[in-house]
Structure 1
Amino acid sequence: MSRGFVKEDDQEETPLVPPRADLPEGVTNYVTQNGMAELLAEKKAMIGEKSAIEASTEQEKRIAFNFMNAKIRLLEDRIASSKIVALDEQPKNEIRFGATVTLQIGKSTKILTYQIVGVDEADIAKSKISFISPIAKVLIGKKTGEKAILKRAKKDSIFEVMEINYLVSTRPSTYFKG
């Protein structure tokens, strides 16, 4: 039967699901081992959240289930497209994906440390920047002592690479299978 013959009260709203972090078309979805563990933990948490859904009406419950299923599908697509980068195989003297980089900004004494990670791992509060961010793009390929220039509208930012590390987490991997 066509939707035109369904009572208005019986129609369910299609839940709007916020998109995941932007990954441009054609760009490989690189992740660190920790990033993959976080994605899998997020999936496990969502499945648990879905099974705990309580609603006052059957319609509210169906809408909540549809919303969670859509979020889980987006996450599963992201997981399926992920390519784990082994940090211990990266060149130790050059900035690449996964590097933790210590930078001096211009002539100031201000020092910043960032790790270059996947789009889902990026969190500036944790000093993790996406590999597709402008600053990561100018840093990739640089070596200790080299400078990277980030072109900005009013004034360019100059970063000197002070140190490069590839810290492999010692945290045990917790993978959810299913």
Structure 2
Amino acid sequence: MSKAFTKEPEGGDVYDDLPDRPISPHNLVTAHGLELIETELARLHVDHAAAHDADDKPLLAKINRDLRYWTSRRATAQVVEPPSDKTQVHFGSTVTIEREDGRRQTYRIVGEDEADPAKGTLSYVSPVAQALQNTAVGETVEAGAGEATIVDIS
């Protein structure tokens, strides 16, 4: 039978099963990171109700996918208290590094979902954060394409 005579969903008619967002097994968070997850879940619930009322199936599919992601992240979140040890870099530490060209950069080591290097936060599983873990002021680490020296930990 010709395809012209078969009924198939048109280009945007299948909304129910958007592929899930990949969920990392790494889920340490700061207290602030947990607040961000809960804020995102609350926003998504409001958006879900509005999309449901508007019968916006494509938006509902997207929101449902995001709800599955953030619900999973909330369920597996492990809150880590700020480190009391300021002699070494740990999850939650704020560390200032000096690069070979003299630039100083300050980063806080945080969970994956709250990381934004442009805003001064690095995921604890990122290569630079991994290189910084358990190091002290004065030590040099590989940081991207070059080296960096730790100048402050707070």
What range describes the TM-score normalised by the shorter chain of this pair? 0.7 to 0.9
Structure 1 unaligned regions, length at least 5: 1-6, 166-178
- TM-score, L = length of structure 2: 0.82
Specify the alignment match of 1:64 in structure 2. Answer: 59
Distance (whole Å) between structure 2 residues aligned to residue 48 and residue 17 of structure 1: 22
Q: Is the partner of 1:75 in helix, strand or coil?
A: helix
- Equivalent residue for 2:31, pick from 21, 30, 33: 33
Distance (whole Å) between structure 2 residues aligned to residue 158 and residue 126 of structure 1: 21
Distance (whole Å) between structure 1 residues aligned to residue 105 and residue 14 of structure 2: 49
- Equivalent residue for 1:103, pick from 80, 89, 97: 97
Offset at 1:28? 3.7
Could you tell me which amino acid in structure 2 is paired with residue 92 of structure 1? K
Q: Is the partner of 2:114 in helix, strand or coil?
A: coil
- Equivalent residue for 1:13, pick from 12, 15, 22: 15
Kept in 1, the 8 Å contact 2:18–2:61? The answer is no
Could you tell me which amino acid in structure 1 is paired with residue 43 of structure 2? A
What RMSD in Å do the two structures reach over aligned CA positions? 2.4
Offset at 1:103? 0.6
4+ aligned runs moved over 6 Å, structure 1: none
Kept in 1, the 8 Å contact 2:136–2:150? The answer is yes
Provide the aligned length of Structure 1 versus Structure 2.
146
Could you tell me which amino acid in structure 2 is paired with residue 49 of structure 1? D
Kept in 1, the 8 Å contact 2:112–2:124? The answer is yes
Cα deviation digits, residues 93-147 of structure 1 (max 9, x gap): 11011111111112x3211001111110111221111111111111001011111
Kept in 1, the 8 Å contact 2:44–2:63? The answer is yes
- TM-score, L = length of structure 1: 0.72
Could you tell me which amino acid in structure 2 is paired with residue 110 of structure 1? R
- Equivalent residue for 2:40, pick from 36, 39, 42: 42
Distance (whole Å) between structure 1 residues aligned to residue 34 and residue 148 of structure 2: 29
Could you tell me which amino acid in structure 2 is paired with residue 67 of structure 1? K
Are residues 1:122 and 2:115 paired? yes
Distance (whole Å) between structure 1 residues aligned to residue 133 and residue 90 of structure 2: 5
| CA 1:50–1:151: 2 relative to 1, 3 Å | closer
